[in-house]
Structure 1
Amino acid sequence: MSNNSSFLGFWEAADWANTSQCPPSVGGATFWIIAYSAIIAIGLLGNAGLVFIIARQQELRNVTNILIANLSCSDILMCVVCLPVTVIYTLMDRWVLGEALCKVTPFVQCMSVTVSIFSLVLIALERHQLILHPTGWSPAAGHSYLAVGLTWLVACFISLPFLSFNILTNDPFQNISLPSNPFRDHLICMELWPSDKHRLAYMTSLLLFQYCLPLLLVLLCYLRIFLRLKRRRDTLERSRRTQGAQRINVMLLAIVVAFALCWLPLNVFNTLFDWHHQALPDCQHDAIFSACHLTAMASTCINPVVYGFLNSNFQKELKSTLQRCQCGNRAAESYESFPLSTVGSEGMTKASSLNRMGSKSNNNNKEQDADNQHPY
């Protein structure tokens, strides 16, 4: 799921000559600037607010919330580093930001995307474990910090080729056969691989391990969760979950659908470009890429909404934080058992506490305890 922000570097000399006949659209450029700026602002504010509230409140530091904060941190990194650079490069059709950013930007984008999808997978796996096996092993906060560290290490390793093979050059402009070559002094940030086979193998691997396989695993986890919740027929249990069951299902579905739909257009574009870039129209390839990339970057705004702003506890804490900033007084707060978390990983309901003290309870009651820890 690479950004392909350096896709301009693959265009042949003849393609550059053709694009020189395509006049830039002032209205189009204005639209992209406004759209990207809105995503940057919303993504930064939403994710920063989510991380701030989770970090500020001890009650919120359970496994799922730590993974959510990790997901938000990767989105913040994307908004700060990748989005502004992509806007400048796409609008100017040349690189003016220096060699360091030429190498760092695609590396950071690939790393951020990898951390995001790994976080989504870990959240799905935790839900799967705690809903389908509520009496078995459950991860603790220490495990989540270890998982966060491993995701960043693995993401860095996967993204290293961008540091090695991204270069700043003007070679594609030198052989353009025009009476007056306006691109001769232009620089582009492009990927220079040992061979085209190496590039295709790496990009195809990214598509599989950053999109297809993680999405399949997440869908499988949520499908099993839906089936488990559907099989529970106890009348008392159903009556206690009547109000929240619909929101749980909608929330789980929104997580998967938002991720899949946001990144699908860019992955289709990247796949088409990697294997047959001549199929892309000369004058519209920038606009097509920008539309696909903008859709993918919208995921940085969706995550805070899905994980935070649709949760009543997050809204209460956000209002309380704003009131403290305005008045300097700490307002009284009330929390659900496990705010923001899909399943509380480190707390126990009264029933589960009694079970540990020796009271008799069957597995269905324990499963009910795990469900009651769901915040939605």
Structure 2
Amino acid sequence: MRTVTNYLITNMAVGDLLMTVLCVPFTSSSVILLQHWPFGSVMCWLVSFSQAVTVFVSAFSLIAISVDRYRAIIYPLQPRVTRQHARLVILLIWLLAGGTCLPIAVTSRTWIPQRERHYRLNEYYVCQEHWESDSRQYYSLSVMLLQYFLPVLVLMYTYGRIAVEVWGKASALFEQNDSREARLTRTRRKVILMMVICVAAFTLAWLPFHVFEITTQIYPSAFEWPHIKVLFWAVHAVAMSHCCMNPVIYFTMNDKFRERLLESLGREQSRVTLECQQLNRMAGASARSTYLNSVKYDTSGV
């Protein structure tokens, strides 16, 4: 399964895992449960930075996968991307994501909102980005374009062209009764459908968050609404739920992925069962040895 596409999918999975471990628990607990940031300044910039980076990694990985599929299907005679090239693309994805999100790491800090008495009296900190000028709006717009709208446009174009090519070719092959090519085309159609669903999941999951960001940028008075934190957490939760959608999609729609995963789980279960059997045999042998020794040296009945 070590193909170029699977390398890129693995890279996206790493980003999803980092999102799950570093972002989801801290954001949920600080925004909803505690309503302040108790984790310190280091975790503040680490969580803010890693959250932004992992989102960019997912978006850029989707772009790389779509471009790889586009080249393979639209231009099949061109040289294929090698696994070495895939590793370089993955490195480039992380460098671009880290460089783009560097301002978030620089501006994220903990501070006590002096305007709110509850925070001031209890010395409760919040973790937010602190910008000196209006550059925050321009940076947010740039992030939105790079992380959401650019990937959506690229994915719509590449998979649109692929769908036209694959579906049109499939119809012609079915008419010619070419069973081998038709079967291969059906497999391609299923893969493309799976990737389209992944793109749709990414688009729909992050859409409410970006609508929220645009609205609050245009109307800053929206933050005075008493339930704004609940709304923020809701759109944030929907956006971060994207990190658990991809495994479900791949397991449901990718037969090879599902077979290999079940095979791996079966091997692990077999290994554990074998170790338990060996331990039982060792325990039984030890018990028999102890019993024989006790009989050998017990002369009380003689």
TM beyond 0.5: yes
Pairing partner for 1:96 from 38, 63, 67: 38
Answering whether residue 257 of structure 2 is matched by residue 320 of structure 1, we say no
Closer/same/farther in 2, CA of residues 329 and 82 from structure 1, 3 Å limit: closer
Deviation per CA, 1:30-73: give whole Å up to 9, x if none: xxxxxxxxxxxxxxxxxxxxxxxxxxxxxx11100000000000
Pairing partner for 2:51 from 105, 109, 116: 109
The residue that corresponds to 1:55 in the other structure is none
Equivalent-residue separation in structure 1 for 2:242 and 2:103 (angstroms): 25
Letter in 1 for 2:194: M
The residue that corresponds to 1:84 in the other structure is 25
Q: How many residues align?
A: 264
Report percent identity of matched pairs.
33
Deviation per CA, 1:209-251: give whole Å up to 9, x if none: 0000111001100000011113321321674357546634532
Q: How do 1:286-305 residues align onto structure 2 when only pairs under 5 Å count?
A: 286-305=229-248
Letter in 1 for 2:253: L
Equivalent-residue separation in structure 2 for 1:231 and 1:310 (angstroms): 22
Q: How do 1:229-248 residues align onto structure 2 when only pairs under 5 Å count?
A: 229-232=166-169, 233-234=172-173, 235=176, 236=178, 239-240=182-183, 244=187, 247-248=190-191
Asked if structure 2 preserves the Cα contact closer than 8 Å seen for 1:95 and 1:186, the reply is: yes
Pairing partner for 2:217 from 268, 274, 279: 274
Equivalent-residue separation in structure 2 for 1:242 and 1:73 (angstroms): 30
Equivalent-residue separation in structure 1 for 2:252 and 2:65 (angstroms): 18
Closer/same/farther in 2, CA of residues 295 and 137 from structure 1, 3 Å limit: same
Asked if structure 1 preserves the Cα contact closer than 8 Å seen for 2:222 and 2:228, the reply is: no
Q: What is the deviation of 1:294?
A: 1.2
Between the two structures, name the one with larger relative contact order (CA 8 Å, sep ≥ 6).
Answer: 1
Letter in 1 for 2:43: L
Q: What is the deviation of 1:272?
A: 1.4
Asked if structure 2 preserves the Cα contact closer than 8 Å seen for 1:200 and 1:275, the reply is: no
Answering whether residue 130 of structure 2 is matched by residue 189 of structure 1, we say no
The residue that corresponds to 1:34 in the other structure is none
Answering whether residue 14 of structure 2 is matched by residue 73 of structure 1, we say yes
The residue that corresponds to 2:143 in the other structure is 206
Letter in 2 for 1:292: V
Equivalent-residue separation in structure 2 for 1:87 and 1:129 (angstroms): 41
Equivalent-residue separation in structure 2 for 1:175 and 1:316 (angstroms): 57
Equivalent-residue separation in structure 1 for 2:9 and 2:58 (angstroms): 9
Letter in 1 for 2:4: V
SS at match of 2:127: strand
Letter in 1 for 2:118: P
Equivalent-residue separation in structure 1 for 2:141 and 2:31 (angstroms): 23
SS at match of 1:138: coil
Equivalent-residue separation in structure 2 for 1:62 and 1:242 (angstroms): 19
Deviation per CA, 1:5-31: give whole Å up to 9, x if none: xxxxxxxxxxxxxxxxxxxxxxxxxxx
The residue that corresponds to 1:61 in the other structure is 2
Closer/same/farther in 2, CA of residues 97 and 289 from structure 1, 3 Å limit: same
Gap regions ≥5 residues in structure 2 = 274-302
Equivalent-residue separation in structure 2 for 1:278 and 1:230 (angstroms): 49
Normalised by the length of structure 1, the TM-score is: 0.66
Closer/same/farther in 2, CA of residues 244 and 61 from structure 1, 3 Å limit: closer
Pairing partner for 1:125 from 67, 79, 97: 67
Closer/same/farther in 2, CA of residues 239 and 155 from structure 1, 3 Å limit: closer
Q: Please identify which structure carries the higher helix content.
A: 2
Equivalent-residue separation in structure 2 for 1:100 and 1:212 (angstroms): 31
SS at match of 1:167: strand
Pairing partner for 1:219 from 142, 151, 156: 156
Normalised by the length of structure 2, the TM-score is: 0.82
Closer/same/farther in 2, CA of residues 275 and 240 from structure 1, 3 Å limit: same
